[in-house]
Chain A
Amino acid sequence: MIRLEKRKEPSKFWRIANPFLAVILTMIAGGIMFAALGKDPVAAIRLIFFDPIFSETFASYSRPQLLIKSAPLILIAVGLAVGFKANIWNIGAEGQYIIGALFGAGVALAFFPQPGWYIFPLMILAGAFGGFLWAMIPAILKTRFNTNEILVSLLLVYVAERLLAAMALGLMRNPDQPGFPGSRDLRRYEAAHNAELFANTGIHWGVVAALIAVIFAYVMMTRHMLGFHVQLAGQAPRAARFGGVSPTRLVVICLGISGALAGLAGLFEVSGPGGQVRIEFASGYGFTAIIVAFLGRLNPIGILLAGLLLGLTYIGGELSQMMLQIPGAAIQVFQGMLLFFLLALDFQTNYRIRLTQGARA
């Protein structure tokens, strides 16, 4: 007979091993799915996980692209993870990402066409501030009126999307292209362009910011008092309160940090790879980052790896569509499998399976 037993301590081994096991299981299950679709499973898995980094044809382009695709995911996820650790659930990073982009682009468009070294730094400040501001709405509503931050932050995403559409159609519309929505292309405005720092590496300021955020978050969570408060509030809220941790302050800090980082991600995207404020600028980074945060076990280093892994499945997924004609939906199922296996395997971090002899009532 099989019996489940809760572990006294979550298993450290499985905590580390599970993500790797999940990737292997995803490869196996995904391979079976690809085979069922009549595609060569080995070639498909190779295209998804291997070719973007190592293929002679694609790697020189895909490797930098991997950084470009993963950086915003990592930047947002690092911020979200801080809050998640403290049981503060910011689900609306997508909205903060949009507002950050609008604030940053707003600064750029206000200065256009002036040159000036100070414009880009100002945009960075504005982007972070925009995201921070948008996150303060659920924060203040929660601390003042005890509303649920999950709902408020999520619903504000839709408000932000409408605001984005209004800006792309109205205030920020490119006056040289009347009739068509969308702002000027910031990539063609040197002072505001978040260009590659080193040619053909994909490294732009957003990638640098993501790395800095990972390091800062790691130090904060392991070495700093605030990190300790966050963990305490998440694991033992009552003890935290007795220990003098102000829940109000924590809500504001956690939502503020995640909002500002999401805003930064939006700013770096709109001034670089995205290029302009358009109605369809937001492509779900804020939501995907939630998956990245959990895939990375809410740990900054884990998030770094998880962001790269998910970025890899996106870029490899496109390659496998292109080269093997695997349907787009199958790639999405494949990505879903990754999260599914990880969450399912988490079970054995907290429980152990025991085979017992004889029947017990």
Chain B
Amino acid sequence: MKKLLTAAVLSAALATPALADTTKVGFIYIGPVGDFGWTAGHDRARREMAEHFGDAVETTIVENVDYGADAERVMTQMAISGTDMIFAASFGYGPDVNSVAGRFPDVAFQHATGYIQDHPNISLYDARFYEGRAVLGHIAGKMTETNTVGYIASYPIPAVIAGINSAYLHAKAVNPDIQFRIIWTYSWFDPALEADAAETLIEQGADVIMQHTDSTAAIRVAEDAGVMAFGQASDMTQFGPNAHLTAIVDNWAPYYISRVQAVKDGTWEAQNSWLGFADGIIEMAPWNDRMPAELQEEADALVAAIAAGEYHPFTGPINRQDGTPWLAEGEIAPDGDLATMNFYVEGITAELPN
């Protein structure tokens, strides 16, 4: 009897026509939505997107999904449950996205900061974080008193390396004595490790901490130690009101809205988008008041110049770390070089893990 009842309920549920215009959108995150950094940025955009479409979309998330078999399983389960579109919001999901996308050709995949595109249903999207890093570098070069910047880096992948190079070049331009100390954590989100790294860098004389990791730990350490720091991916002011100079804030919402709209319109196609200040996908958090007015103006001007396309952060002459020339006088770095960058620029004394 019970079985019969279940069957009846089930068939009734199946008989209800699905709302044809409700698009199901799934998100998988490498960190927790409460990281106040990278993942928080994506989830902020998801909520804005969901609000924009109202009942016309249904979103779902799974957080803390490891790269590899776990990611593949979560995305497969999403696809099985009728998800139309999946945003995989971390670099390392590449192989997993490609393996699932091959099996579900009708699902639109959006992979953030990736580079593998084996199937026609995978779009890649990324932000030109190096543009923001240029601004951070400029500010760091002006604000430091010890001429030492501490850099907490995650994985030695092109986006992170380009960020270090951009920050260094612009710090060096305003402060020839600048030194970068770099610690690699091999993790995107590990508050304890990031806090340790920040402490070590401060002990080594750094008075400005830059991070390419997602937690707020370094900001808190910097606040306690009375040094300066930059947030990551989100405005982290509340975790260090004195220390926090600014942050590159990710603003994925307009992009997410346009991509979901494309799926609804049936016009979605695989793309490879690399957007920057000009597209509003990154913006700077409000300058800290401890930055002199003059510096605030310079930073504003730098953002404006990059956004207007008048200035490119990688404009020659730039040499590689080993002294070999990379860009000639006035030459602008091709996107291909930046997207596969695996060398430091001249002047950085640290060694790239290799």
Residues of A at the B interface (CB closer than 8 Å) are: 56-58, 61-62, 65, 68-69, 161, 165-166, 169-170, 178-182, 185, 187, 269, 273-276, 278-281, 283, 315, 318-319, 321-323, 325, 327-329
**Interchain CB contact under 8 A, B70 and A322:** no
Chain A residues with Cβ below 8 Å from B341 are 179
Chain B residues with Cβ below 8 Å from A325 are 60-61
A328 and B66 alpha carbons, distance in the complex (Å): 12
Chain A residues with Cβ below 8 Å from B81 are 57-58, 322-323
How large, as a class, is the contact surface on chain B? 35 or more
What is the chain B residue whose CB lies nearest that of A72?
Answer: B69
Residues of B at the A interface (CB closer than 8 Å) are: 10, 26, 32-34, 60-70, 72-74, 76-78, 80-81, 92, 95, 99, 115, 155-158, 186-187, 340-342, 353-354
Chain B residues with Cβ below 8 Å from A165 are 186, 353
**Interchain CB contact under 8 A, A61 and B76:** yes
A279 and B4 alpha carbons, distance in the complex (Å): 51
The 9 A-B pairs of least Cβ separation, nearest first, read A273-B69, A179-B340, A328-B63, A179-B342, A283-B66, A328-B64, A321-B62, A274-B68, A280-B67
A276 and B353 alpha carbons, distance in the complex (Å): 19
A44 to chain B, nearest CB (A): 14
**Interchain CB contact under 8 A, B32 and A328:** yes
Chain B residues with Cβ below 8 Å from A323 are 60, 81
B126 to chain A, nearest CB (A): 14
Q: Do A279 and B340 form a contact, CB below 8 Å, given A61-B80, A328-B32?
A: no
A159 and B70 alpha carbons, distance in the complex (Å): 24
Q: Do A328 and B62 form a contact, CB below 8 Å, given A165-B186, A181-B156?
A: yes
In this complex, which of B34, B65, B95 has the most chain A Cβ atoms within 10 angstroms of its Cβ? B95
**Interchain CB contact under 8 A, A181 and B69:** no
A56 and B77 alpha carbons, distance in the complex (Å): 12
Q: Can you name 17 A-B pairs with beta carbons within 8 Å?
A: A61-B80, A68-B73, A161-B186, A181-B157, A182-B95, A273-B72, A275-B99, A276-B95, A280-B66, A280-B67, A280-B186, A315-B73, A322-B26, A322-B60, A322-B62, A327-B33, A329-B32
What is the chain B residue whose CB lies nearest that of A284?
Answer: B66
Chain B residues with Cβ below 8 Å from A169 are 156, 353-354
Chain B residues with Cβ below 8 Å from A275 are 68, 95, 99
**Interchain CB contact under 8 A, A166 and B353:** yes
Chain A residues with Cβ below 8 Å from B76 are 61
Chain A residues with Cβ below 8 Å from B32 are 327-329
A197 to chain B, nearest CB (A): 17
B33 to chain A, nearest CB (A): 8
**Interchain CB contact under 8 A, A180 and B62:** no
Q: Do A322 and B63 form a contact, CB below 8 Å, given A274-B69, A279-B155?
A: no
Besides A182-B95, A283-B67, 13 other A-B contacts (C-beta < 8 A): A68-B73, A165-B186, A165-B353, A166-B353, A169-B156, A180-B158, A185-B95, A275-B95, A280-B186, A283-B68, A322-B60, A322-B62, A329-B34
A165 and B353 alpha carbons, distance in the complex (Å): 9
What is the chain A residue whose CB lies nearest that of B63?
Answer: A328
What is the chain A residue whose CB lies nearest that of B14?
Answer: A56
A322 and B340 alpha carbons, distance in the complex (Å): 34
A69 and B70 alpha carbons, distance in the complex (Å): 9
Chain B residues with Cβ below 8 Å from A58 are 77, 80-81
Chain B residues with Cβ below 8 Å from A318 are 62, 65, 70, 73-74, 77
